[in-house]
Amino acid sequence: MKRNATLMAYNNTCLLKSFLFLLWWMMVCAVYARSQDTSLMKMLEDSMAVTRQPQYTTGTFKGTHVINLHAVETPAQGVLLFMIMHRFGKINDGGYQLFGLDNATMRMGFDYGITNRLAAGIGRSTFEKTYDGYLKLKLLRQTESPGKIPVSVTALGGLAYTTLKYADKSYLNAKYRISYTLQLLIARKLNRNLSLQLAPAWLHYNLVPAVADKNDVFALGMGGRMKITRRASINLEYNYLPGNQVNSFKVYNSLSAGFDIETGGHVFQVHVTNSQGMVAPLFIGRTTGSWGKGDVYFGFNISRSFNIAKKKH
């Protein structure tokens, strides 16, 4: 009897043990199964994090120009950009000239993306009947977090050729009519809204008005844009021209402020500036308008992009 009781007790503890073990195992399985549901996504996320490549920052500026100054942006490969830059007369011309609206100078231009990094442009300004051509090359492109490149750098090399005929200046041959621009555009998109650019420039005029004027002129351009909505931004641009370079006439630093609106393939820029010229040798070294005196030009840039080459995937 006593032996029987011990055996039963043994059997009972044995059953209890197996029952507890089963319970524990079921819990482990349940936890494992639950973790599996979310781990499918976690597995993907982990895999993505490991293989993630740095990506180029896009949309540092909306257009290829801040206002007058070139921006780091170039058209993508196979994209032709048609751009009209237009400046009315001076606002201080008064009511008779309808505050400058009676007069206008303009520049028509084409930019073409040869590759995603290299673009060529040509343009023609009514101001002194100037033709211009340039090459823009993206040397560095800013990359996003895990990126290591903090800025975008684009080199700009340009040439301007004035063709206005002067009856009294028959000596003006092709050489005298040319001026060169070499500029480094360094920009950083600080956040989704704010981008800033620095642009040291070296200009060379083959002909200057007087002996006191330097043929080689150095300047520092600065530009920025602040997005106010997803498709509109406020732009500011200042081109600092250190003294003792242009002496025979009074020059001012070019200061422009504007507003960009983008819709589909168009970028529409409206601005006020004290520069009438729209190519670097004109607006950097030949700005004669003064904000203080009210020599302010109202103007706009309109660009339209066309895809003329099929993009290969």
User: Which residue ranges make up the site for another protein (CB under 8 A)?
Assistant: 14-15, 17-18, 21-22, 25, 29, 32-33, 36-37, 40-41, 43-45, 47-48, 51, 55, 58-59, 75-77, 79, 116, 144, 192, 230-231, 263-265, 305, 307, 310-311, 313
Instruction: Report in angstroms how near the CB of residue 13 gets to another protein at its nearest.
Output: 11
Instruction: Report in angstroms how near the CB of residue 265 gets to another protein at its nearest.
Output: 6
Instruction: Report in angstroms how near the CB of residue 156 gets to another protein at its nearest.
Output: 20
Instruction: Report in angstroms how near the CB of residue 157 gets to another protein at its nearest.
Output: 23
Nearer to another protein, 41 or 211 (CB): 41
Instruction: Report in angstroms how near the CB of residue 252 gets to another protein at its nearest.
Output: 35
The answer to whether 182 touches 215, Cβ cutoff 8 Å, is: no
Nearer to another protein, 15 or 139 (CB): 15
Instruction: Report in angstroms how near the CB of residue 224 gets to another protein at its nearest.
Output: 17
Four-point Cα dihedral 223, 227, 232, 236, nearest 10: -20
Nearer to another protein, 2 or 311 (CB): 311
CA–CA dist 173, 158 (Å, integer) = 19
Structure tokens at 261: 């609106």
CA–CA dist 61, 196 (Å, integer) = 9
The answer to whether 262 touches 231, Cβ cutoff 8 Å, is: yes
- Residue 261: its H or E element: strand 254-263
Nearer to another protein, 76 or 222 (CB): 76
With tokens 């009947």, the residue in question is 129
Nearer to another protein, 73 or 237 (CB): 73
CB atoms within 10 A of CB 89: 19
Instruction: Report in angstroms how near the CB of residue 231 gets to another protein at its nearest.
Output: 6
Task: Give the pairing type, strands 178-189 and 216-227.
Answer: unpaired
Closest CA to 264 of 306, 312, 224: 306
Nearer to another protein, 59 or 242 (CB): 59
Sign of CA pseudo-dihedral 117, 179, 132, 81: positive
CA–CA dist 286, 128 (Å, integer) = 12
CA–CA dist 240, 219 (Å, integer) = 6
Nearer to another protein, 42 or 293 (CB): 42
Structure tokens at 246: 């242009």
